[in-house]
Structure 1
């Protein structure tokens, strides 16, 4: 039921009002108060109603935020003295999808054991429904301004730059309020919330954010910021119009967050360029499974100062354990105010990296066969998430998708020819074992 980032899928198929009702009843078994918010998708309104009904008939009080960024929902769990939070969102997925992501008071998403418990309750029909006079209440909550204040307090910008923000028709508009309060001149793209995402696809990739990169490159702005549909991701463009790769952005944010001797957390598919760049400052990378919940688990270690995923999820543990796109935006703008983003990007040496996905009929069985073969053929093998082979001059990873019948291939080396060879080797292994 749960993928790498909550429950997601097509509305009316995977994600239905019946499912939302069941999640509400399951969560209501041991929750007295739950915060609920949604992204701009129209289907979110009925899903929130069904979710709230399941919670209330379990005797659980609901604090409804309405349309709100996912990090606002996650932070509001603690602010509202609640037991849990639910963001009704499919995040960066396309408009036909929706989903539910569950949050703990720490700001961390529900971890594997908690997800298993909710799934088992739904599958077994376990509930704890209240009597007619014990139903939960449904009240309106508004934590937008409190989130804005937290963002403003997180940075100090002496010479505020001009910024273009592409909100992607999503819920991340609070970043505009925060940047303006910090003194930045802000120009917006796709600022009107619309769950059909008419301005661009929700995921903030280089291809989807070409308008942002062009506007920044040809105008006077010093950098550009892009969010996804629910505002948990953040990507960026330099003042000369270069859309920054996720690995490079991870390296820059991590270098600023970590002191020498500390660690940062990043998933197994992160470029070794991040290791090399951070190693110059005696900062090391600890690898996690793919998914912000796993990065969040690792950043609770005392010596881990920051966590991030190249997809655009960034976590500062002293602030919250949820990926907070607007927080990442103000942090990056503060860095750019001190030194241009383009100059910081130029400091990070990048290497050739190849990626692809191959459809398979039984990804679990395929990955089991791949693991057996690779462990017999190579010395440096990790199976934390998929099968990753480390070599002196590069690495490759074979990993099953968390939501689709795919096995993903990633290969990287310091030389293009070697990266191509490693990618070919990984592809051959997959082809033999699929």
Structure 2
């Protein structure tokens, strides 16, 4: 039921009113007195929020309705409102026909695997602590959740300038308007693209990829803008365009943020498919990378450790644990703008991060679990144990590179990634990894 980022899927198939009611009941059946609920702009979120709230109130839990807000706004509101849990109705960067539910702790961290398993168990077994006829919870609203998020961003970043920095922000018709308000209050000149919330995402697909954000890149390049910012539908992701219209890889942004946050002895949390460019950027500072399974939930969980000062995923999820354990796209936008204002050029910052040749490929399979078991068996036979890790899939490391083989969490695919110091070696490692998968498929 739960993937690496909550529950997601097509409305009317995977995500239904029945499911929303069950999730509301299941969350409220724990040691929970109050929950905060909110949604992204998708139309189905209107009634999904209502049924989640109804299920929680049926169990005697009070519901605080934040309305349409960015996911990091909702996550920050849980602790601030003295609530025990939060539920945001969003499918994040998925297409408009999808929706989903993601659950939050007061710390701003999403529910971990153990918590998600407990919710699943209650739903599967129908174990709900339903209240009596006179024990229903109350439903109230909060009107200032976004404003208070803006306040937190301004406090975290400080002043950027007096209109000297020009930023184009592509909201993708999502809920990330908090970033625009915060950047303006920080002293930036802001131009907004696709700013009207619309859950059908009429102007571009919600996921802020380089291709989907082509218009943003062109707009930044043809104007005097210093950088561009792109969010997905619920603004937990942030990607960027340079003043020349380049769209840096997520690994490069990760390296920039990590280098800014870390010092001697600090660690940065990143998933196992992260480029060695991040390790290279941190090594001169005496800092290091601590690897996690893929998924922002895992990155945030590792970021709770005291010497981890930052966590990120190349997909665009960025976590500053001193602020919140939720990936906060608007906070990342403000942090990056501040960095550009100080250094003068995002192009120059990007050029200062040496990159390595990295290749990714997907292999369609019918039984990915069986394939992965066979791949693991063969890797264990061919390589010494200190050379590979099974933290998430199988990552095999060499002196000059690595490859990763892991099953997709949502599709019938095995994903293969390879990186090395030289192009030819990257291709060689990718061929080796794909060979493992091919052999495991035909056995």
How far does the alpha carbon of each residue in 1:236-264 deviate from its partner, in whole angstroms, 9 at most, with x for none? Answer: 01111111110000000010011122110
From 235, 244, 247, the counterpart of 2:248: 244
CA positional deviation for 1:129: 0.6
Q: Quick one: distance in 2 between partners of 1:26 and 1:355? A: 39
Please say which of residues 50-59 and 153-162 is displaced more in the overlay: 153-162
Count of aligned positions = 434
For residue 286 of structure 1, give the secondary structure of its aligned residue in structure 2: strand
Alignment of 1:15-414 (within 5 A): 15-30=15-30, 31-142=32-143, 143-159=145-161, 160-339=164-343, 340-379=345-384, 380-414=387-421
Could you tell me how far 1:183 is from its partner in structure 2? Answer: 1.1
- Could you tell me how far 1:368 is from its partner in structure 2? 1.2
In the alignment, the residues of structure 2 paired with residue 168 and residue 326 of structure 1 have an alpha-carbon distance, to the nearest angstrom, of 13
SS at match of 2:18: helix
**Given that residues 157 and 337 in structure 1 are in contact (C-alpha distance below 8 angstroms), is that contact kept between their aligned partners in structure 2?**
no
* 8 Å contact kept, 2:402–2:418: yes
CA contact (8 A) 1:111 1:293 kept: yes
Using the alignment, how far apart are the partners of 1:129 and 1:311 within structure 2? 40
Q: Secondary structure at the match of 2:375?
A: helix
1:260-282 deviations in Å (ceiling 9; x for gaps)? 22110000000011111111222
Q: CA deviation at 1:156?
A: 2.5
Supply the distance in 1 between the matched residues of 2:413 and 2:5 (Cα, whole angstroms).
17
User: 2:160, 2:188 within 8 Å by CA — same for their partners in 1?
Assistant: no
**Deviation at residue 402 of structure 1 after TM alignment:** 1.1
Q: CA deviation at 1:378?
A: 1.8
The structural deviation recorded for 1:315 is 0.4
Unaligned runs of 5+ in 1: none
Q: Deviations over 1:30-50 (max 9, x none)?
A: 211100000000011111111
Whether the 8 Å CA contact 1:361–1:405 is kept in 2: the answer is: yes
Residue-by-residue CA offset, 1:151-197 (whole Å, 9 max, x unaligned): 11111234351100000100001111001111110001111100010
Q: Is the 8 A contact 1:4 1:403 kept in 2?
A: no
Q: Does structure 2 conserve the Cα–Cα contact (< 8 Å) formed by 1:164 and 1:216?
A: yes
- SS in structure 2 at match of 1:348: coil
Alignment partners' CA distance in 2, 1:241 and 1:86: 37
Q: TM-score, normalised by structure 1?
A: 0.99
Paired residues of 1:151 and 1:330 also in contact (CA < 8 A): yes
Shift of 1:301: 1.1
Whole-angstrom CA distance in 2 between matches of 1:259 and 1:156: 21
SS in 2 for 1:280: helix
Deviation (angstroms), 1:232: 0.2
TM-score of the superposed pair, with normalisation by structure 2: 0.97
Partner of 2:7: 7
The answer (yes or no) to whether the contact 1:64–1:139 under 8 Å persists in 2 is yes
Structure 1 SS opposite 2:157: coil
Of the candidates 408, 417, 426, which is equivalent to residue 419 of structure 1? 426
Contact 2:74 2:88 (C-alpha < 8 Å) held by counterparts? yes
For the 8 Å contact 1:8–1:100, the answer to whether it is kept is: yes
Q: Measure, in 1, the Cα distance between the counterparts of 2:176 and 2:257.
A: 20
Partners of 1:362 and 1:240 in 2: how far apart? 44
